[in-house]
Structure 1
């Protein structure tokens, strides 16, 4: 008898117990997911009722004030009576009383509904705790079963060719899943960096537009302060653009498919023209340079948007592929576990591994077998 068969026989009872636990708690994980969605729905409903209660409380107080204004006002009652409109006063008073009691009833109904939802939520949380215990038990049993099988079958296992083949399938599926996961995570990080770059790009565009506004004012005699504000906005735009390019380079480290951004020349002032030759013509010429910078920056922003959209598309495709590879890996693991369960069952009931190592079983074949095939 091989040492592997000895291990299988020694672990047979624990294997049976672990499989029973897994079967008993098999529905725990999907049940937990459903319970979590149910609790989330109840929490949303409770939050909506909380907002509704505030509105109903305000409405009740308003209706109460209207009701008391007619119920307790002696002067108002007297004025209606003197003018011969006593019936109208009583109708209005009755209307206000009715609306108040309707608001009171509506608030009471909402309060009862809120209590019911809170009780349902409390019950759901308690039920979730029981399900979580089953999930923990299921995961613990699965981990122990994996360790048990690995201690016996890990690596080439003479006499169990089917198990070895299934183990190789798991290794291949796992490698493919990990490769896809790494690529998807890399594209995800590139997306995050490009989103940051897009935000900074908007700051650069706002700065260049502010520079254009100050430049327009400067052409009509804005003065030194306007010149300084204009140059400050241009400096901010240039700094933000440099930050954008840095973020794009970082994104390219994660995803080489991210393209370089087109060049942008941010207009810069000249001390001689600003101080010694400052006139409408130099201001107009510089304004045109800023307009050119703004146009180049808009083109750069469009290129950045294209990069972000393309990277998001690649990430989405990779995530879809990852889901498929995750299913393939899960199927391979289940097939491996079934092969190992079959090996356990075969050995524990007196059988052997594959015939290619141990040869056929000793003794004559059972009497109920069909006759051997002969040509």
Structure 2
């Protein structure tokens, strides 16, 4: 028997156990998503119920105090009796009692609803924990199955050309998916950086417009306060533009498609002369410089918006391609798994032409049902059924086989 067939025999029990685990836990992932949505919906209902209950409790307490004051007020009772309106006093007291009773009933109903929602929330949380455990078990079994297949089917498979073709196709699609994933991540990072840059540029535009507004408020000159506020806004605008430029540079490094927008030049004017030797002509000239700066910054902001829209469009296209490639990769992996399952079945039957499937257990170690001698299976008790232990034993056997192969070579 070849080394490959021996590996299949050794991995057969673990392979069957992992497939059983995957079949039992395959439903957990979609159910977990539904359970998470259910919990979110219950949380929103509980929040609304808490608000209603709080309002009703406040109203009930206010009605209780008002009713107590009215019924226990001897002055009001005497005034109604003196005005021969005792029936009106009784009617108003009964009305207050009815309103208090209605609010109490509403509060009690809302309290019952709130309690029921909280109980449902607790039950849903317990179910979610169980589903999370099943999903974790499913992922671990899937990871172990991939690891098992890598160990058994590494390289060329002599018994199945279809398995080799499916494996090559899966490897090509995986490499393509990883490349697309890297491009998508780069464009996503570029979008994030450009959004930050656009926000900073908008803030810088607000600051330079504030500076222009302060400059217009000082048309007649002589105001040191306006000049100081103007210089402060210009300094803030320049700092924000520099930060926006830095974000654009980072976006260009992660994505070669990002282009730098037009430059922005901010003129601060002559600080000392503007503070101590202010005049109407210098202010007019400086306001023209500020208008030029606003115009340049607006043009830069518009170009930056175009780059941001282009980056978002590229990210959307890559996302569509990535989703399509993910579906293709999933189908290729399923096909590869089916081919490998066929290889297991073929080897365990003894030949491709054999009908039926041999039911071997860990106790069948020397003879098959036809009486032919075969290598002993891996000693794994069927009652144990622990995939992790089974995987460790199989890996130990594989290491021993490799060592023996090296010694003989």
Q: Same fold (TM over 0.5)?
A: yes
Name the CA distance, whole Å, in 2 between partners of 1:172 and 1:150: 16
What is the alpha-carbon root mean square deviation over aligned residues? 1.9
Shift of 1:159: 2.9
Q: Where does structure 1 differ by over 3 angstroms across 4 or more consecutive aligned residues?
A: none
Give, in whole Å, the separation in 2 of the partners of 1:218 and 1:272. Answer: 16
Q: Which residue does the alignment assign to 1:223? A: 223
2:87 aligned residue? 87
Structure 2 gap segments, 5+ residues each: 354-409
Question: Which residue matches 1:330?
Answer: 330
The 3 A distance-change label for structure 1 pair 227 and 136 is: closer
What's the secondary structure of 1:207's corresponding residue?
helix
- What is the TM-score normalised by the length of structure 1? 0.88
Equivalent position SS for 2:217: helix
Shift of 1:277: 5.4
Deviations 1:167-220 (A, max 9, x none): 011101111111111111111111111121122112212211221122012213
Q: Deviation of residue 21 (structure 1)?
A: 1.8
Superposition pairs for residues 207-222 of structure 1, below 5 Å?
Answer: 207-222=207-222
Q: Following the alignment from structure 1 to structure 2, what is the Cα–Cα distance between the partners of residues 148 and 59?
A: 66
For the 8 Å contact 1:28–1:131, the answer to whether it is kept is: yes
2:264 maps to: 264
Give CA deviations for 1:20-48 in whole Å, capped at 9, x if unaligned. 22112211121222212212222222222
Q: Which residue of 1 aligns with 2:304?
A: 304
Matched with 1:123 is: 123
* More deviation, 168-177/293-302: 293-302
Structure 1 CA distance for aligned equivalents of residues 157 and 89 of structure 2: 98
Q: Deviations over 1:309-352 (max 9, x none)?
A: 22122212212221111111111111100000011111111215
- Mapped partners of 2:10, 2:293: distance in 1: 79
For this pair of structures, how many residues does the alignment match? 353
Report if aligned partners of 1:248, 1:260 keep a CA contact under 8 Å in 2.
yes
Q: 1:273 touches 1:282 (CA, 8 Å); kept in 2?
A: no
**SS at 1:46 equivalent:** helix
- CA separation in 1, counterparts of 2:341 and 2:284? 84
Contact 2:252 2:258 in 1 (8 A): yes
- Tell me how far apart the structure 2 counterparts of residues 68 and 309 of structure 1 sit (CA, whole Å): 66
Q: What is the CA-CA distance between 1:273 and the residue it aligns to?
A: 5.2
Q: Does 1:71 align with 2:71?
A: yes
Residues 243-262 of structure 1 mapped to structure 2, 5 A cutoff = 243-262=243-262
Q: Does 1:314 align with 2:332?
A: no
Q: Matches of 1:251 and 1:68 in 2, distance apart? A: 70
Is contact 2:221-2:283 (8 Å) kept? no
Corresponding residue for 2:190? Answer: 190
Aligned in 2, Cα 1:104/1:333: closer, same or farther, shift over 3 Å? same
Name the structure 2 match of 1:163. Answer: 163
Whether the 8 Å contact between 2:163 and 2:336 is mirrored in structure 1 is yes
1:232 matched to 2:232? The reply is: yes
- Residue in 1 that maps onto 2:288: 288
Aligned to 1:113: 113
How far, CA to CA, are the matches of 1:275 and 1:124 in structure 2? 69
Per the alignment, residue 132 of structure 1 pairs with: 132
- Report the equivalent of 2:41: 41
Gaps of 5+ in 1: 354-375
Q: Give me the TM-score of the superposition, normalised by structure 2.
A: 0.81
2-structure distance, mates of 1:96, 1:89: 11
| Counterpart for residue 397 of structure 2 | none
